[in-house]
Structure 1
C-alpha cells in the first residue's frame, strides 16, 4: 500500500510534538525529583551523623577513664555500623591523632579527599562528595566532645560511591508510552487521510468529465465541509456546461433553417438567370454550393457532438467482432483509398477477441478515424489496421495508422479537442476526433494518439467482452 504524503506529515508532526513533550517532562522530572532527592539525602545524612555522634559520646561517657581504643562497647558498636554502611570509621583527638579505628593500619589521607571532593556543610558536619568515581564514596567529618571536655572528630568514609537517583526506569517508561502513542497515531492518521483520499478520487472523476459524480463524505467537520463545497462546485459546473451544450445544440439546429433558405434562394437565382449568364456564373454557384455544404457538415457535426453530450439514452450493447468491423469499414472507404493509391495493411489475429459495444456509435467513431487517415495520408502511402489484446488481456485495441509527418507533443495533446486541427489549412471541421473520443468514453474506453515509425497511430482501447474465447 502506498503511503500518502499527508499521512507522513501528520505522523512526523505528532511524533515531533511527542518527542519534545517527553524531553520537557524528563527535564522537569530530573530537575525537581533530583533536587528533592538531594535535599532528602542531606537531611538523612545529618540525622545519621547526629545519631552517630550522640551514640559515640554516650558510649565514651559511660567509661570516661577508658581510652577509646580499649573501649570494647565502642568497638562493637562502631564495627557494626562500619559493616552495615560498608565504611571505614576512625576517631581523632584534637591534635589529629587517631585514637580509634574499625580497621587496621593508617587511615586514608583526609587532606586528599578534601582537595578532590566537593564539600557540603550540614551545620557543624562536613560531607565531602567525589567529583568522579574514584572507588570511594563520601567522607563525613563529625565534631566530637570527649568526656574530659576535650574535642576531636569522627570520620566515616564509605567504601562504595554515593548512590545517585536512577532515572533509567523513568526514561524507559517514557519511551514505552511514547512508542505506544506513536503506534496509535497510525489509525488516527488514516482516519483523517481516508476521506481526503475519497475526495481526491471524486475531484479527479469530475475533472475527467463525470460531472454527475458526487462525493460521499459523512460527518460534521472541515473535511465534510470540503466535500460539500466540491459537490456544490460539481453541480454548478454540470448545470452551466449542460446549459452551454443545450444552447449550442439549439443554435446549431436553428442555423439549418436559414441555411436551407439560402440553398433554395440559390437554386431560384440560378433558374432565373438567362442561359448565357448562368454559364458565366457557374463557378461562383459551385463555390457557393461548396460553402453551403461545408457549413451544413459543420452544423451536423456540432449536433452529433451535442447529442452525445446530452443524451441520457443507454447504449445498445452487442457482442461484436472488432476485426470484422474494421474490415467492413475499410471496404466502405475503398474509393478514397484507390483514388490516393493507398495500401491498406491488416493485422488481425486468427481469432480476434470480442468486445461489447453499440455497433452504430462504434462504427461512427471508426469511420471518423478512417476518414482522417485517408484524408491526411500522402499519395501512395500506407494505412495499417490492427486488432490486438493488451498485455493485461482485459482490453482490446483497435488501431489505425497512416503515413504522415510526426506531430508535435502539443498537437498530440490537443488532437481530440473540438475544432483543433493538427494539419493547418486542411479539410474537415475539427470535430471528427472529438466525436470519436466521446463515443469511446461512453463505452468506458480510451482513445489515444502517438507517433510511430510508420506514421501517426490512433488507438481505441475497449474492455474485452466476457463472451470472448
Structure 2
C-alpha cells in the first residue's frame, strides 16, 4: 500500500471513529440530562405533595406499572431513574421511597431529541467522513507526488547525475529533508570534482617524467633489466593516459567525429592489434576470434568505437579466460570470454573507476573509459553473465536511416 492510500485510510478510519463516538455518546448525554431533570421534578413534586397532603404535579403513589428494574434500584432508599422503551418511544421514570415506605414516582415521555440527534449525528458523521477522506486523499496525493519527485531526483543523483537537485517548495518536514539531500549532493559533487581535478593534475604532472623515463629506458643495453624497466614504464604510461582520458570524458568537452565505417573490418583490426600486443616471443598468441553474423555500415566515430572494443577485449583477456569471441551482428558487437564472469556490482551499477572485481589486477579504468566513450557515441553498453558461464559485454551502436546503403 502506497503512502497516499495509507494517509487516506488513516484519515478515514480516524474520522469514522470520531463520528461513531460522537453519534453514540451525544444521545446518551441528552438522555442523562432528561433523567436529571426528571429527578429534580420528582424532588419538587414530593415536597409539594407533603405540604398539600395530596399528590401534585403528576406524582403517583405506589404505581402498579412501575418498572421492575427501577423498583429494585429504590429499595435501598435512594432516588433513581429509568428509561423505559415502549412502542411509542421512550418513557423517563423517576422514583423514590417516602418516609412511610410508599413509592413516589413520576414518568413522562421523552422529548425524542436524543433519537433525532442520534440520527442527525450519524448522517453528519457519514458526510464528514466522506469529506475528510476526499480532503485526506488530496493532501496525501500532494505529499506523495512531492516525495516521488524527490525520490526520482535522489535516484538520478545516485546514478551519477550530480547536477540533479530536489525541488525545495513549502516549509514542512519534506522541504527540510529535501534541503538536506540537496546539501549532501552539493557536498558530494564538490568532493568528487576536487578528487577528479587532483587525479587529472597528478596525471598531467607525470607525463613529462614518464616520457623521460621511457626515453631513458630505450638507452639501456638489451637485457632483463632493460625489459623490466620498459615494461613497467609502459604500464605507468598507459595508466596515466587512462586517467587523463577519464578526466577528458568527465569534463564534457569531448565530441564524436562520425563517419561511415564497416563494423566487421573495425572489429578485425581491434582483434589483430590485441593479439599482436600479447603474442609471445615463440609466436604463440591469445585465442581471440571474430565471428560476423551480419555485417553493417554504421555512421559513428571509429576511433572511439575502436577504443571501446579494445578495452573490452583487453579486459576479457586480462580478467577472463580464452577463447574470447568477438561477434558482429549488424550494429551490435558482443565480446565474450569464458572466465568467471563479471562481478555482480558491475552488472547492477555499471563500471566504476578504481573499483574492480579482481583483487590487485586493475583499477577499473578500462571499462569506465569504455562506458564513457559509449555514452559519447550515443550507443549502449551492457554487461551480463551467460547461464553457461563466462562474461558477455554487448555494444549496440545507434542506427541512422542511411545505414542500409
Q: Flag whether TM exceeds 0.5 (same fold).
A: yes
Structure with bigger gyration radius: 1
CA, structure 1 residues 212+408, in 2 after alignment: closer, same or farther (shift >3 Å)? closer
| 1:116 alignment partner, one of 68, 79, 84 | 68
Instruction: After TM superposition, give the deviation of residue 369 of structure 1 in Å.
Output: 1.0
Instruction: After TM superposition, give the deviation of residue 33 of structure 1 in Å.
Output: 2.1
- Structure 2 length as normaliser, TM-score? 0.71
CA RMSD of aligned residues (A): 4.6
Q: What secondary structure is seen at the aligned counterpart in 1 of 2:385?
A: strand
The match for 1:450 is 385
Q: What secondary structure is seen at the aligned counterpart in 1 of 2:170?
A: coil
CA contact (8 A) 1:37 1:165 kept: no
Q: Give matches, 1:75-86, under 5 Å.
A: none
Q: Give matches, 1:37-436, under 5 Å.
A: 37-38=34-35, 110=64, 113-114=65-66, 116=68, 118=70, 165-166=114-115, 167-268=118-219, 270=220, 278=221, 282-313=223-254, 315-316=255-256, 318=258, 324-325=262-263, 327-334=265-272, 336=274, 339-348=285-294, 358-375=301-318, 378-379=321-322, 381-385=323-327, 387=329, 398-407=333-342, 409=344, 416-423=351-358, 430-436=364-370
Instruction: Measure, in 2, the Cα distance between the counterparts of 1:355 and 1:132.
Output: 93
Instruction: Measure, in 2, the Cα distance between the counterparts of 1:260 and 1:404.
Output: 35
1:340-376 per-residue CA deviation (whole Å, 9 max, x = no partner) reads 344433343x8x7x98865543432222112323555
Q: What secondary structure is seen at the aligned counterpart in 2 of 1:345?
A: strand
Instruction: After TM superposition, give the deviation of residue 204 of structure 1 in Å.
Output: 1.2
Instruction: After TM superposition, give the deviation of residue 382 of structure 1 in Å.
Output: 5.0
CA contact (8 A) 2:328 2:334 kept: yes
CA, structure 1 residues 376+306, in 2 after alignment: closer, same or farther (shift >3 Å)? same
CA contact (8 A) 2:5 2:137 kept: no
CA contact (8 A) 1:415 1:422 kept: no
CA contact (8 A) 1:246 1:310 kept: no
Instruction: Measure, in 2, the Cα distance between the counterparts of 1:131 and 1:424.
Output: 89
Instruction: After TM superposition, give the deviation of residue 175 of structure 1 in Å.
Output: 1.6
Instruction: Measure, in 2, the Cα distance between the counterparts of 1:117 and 1:310.
Output: 92
CA contact (8 A) 2:293 2:329 kept: yes
- In structure 2, the gaps of 5 or more residues are 45-53, 55-59, 95-104, 276-283
CA contact (8 A) 1:245 1:310 kept: no
CA contact (8 A) 2:312 2:367 kept: yes
Instruction: After TM superposition, give the deviation of residue 219 of structure 1 in Å.
Output: 3.4
CA, structure 1 residues 22+463, in 2 after alignment: closer, same or farther (shift >3 Å)? farther
Q: What secondary structure is seen at the aligned counterpart in 2 of 1:209?
A: coil
1:27-48 per-residue CA deviation (whole Å, 9 max, x = no partner) reads 541233222344567899999x
Instruction: Measure, in 1, the Cα distance between the counterparts of 2:140 and 2:257.
Output: 44
CA contact (8 A) 1:116 1:130 kept: no
Higher RCO by CA contacts (8 Å cutoff, separation 6 or greater): 2
CA contact (8 A) 1:414 1:420 kept: no
Instruction: After TM superposition, give the deviation of residue 222 of structure 1 in Å.
Output: 3.7
The match for 2:47 is none
CA, structure 1 residues 231+320, in 2 after alignment: closer, same or farther (shift >3 Å)? farther
CA contact (8 A) 1:249 1:306 kept: yes
- Structure 1 length as normaliser, TM-score? 0.62
Instruction: Measure, in 2, the Cα distance between the counterparts of 1:157 and 1:286.
Output: 120
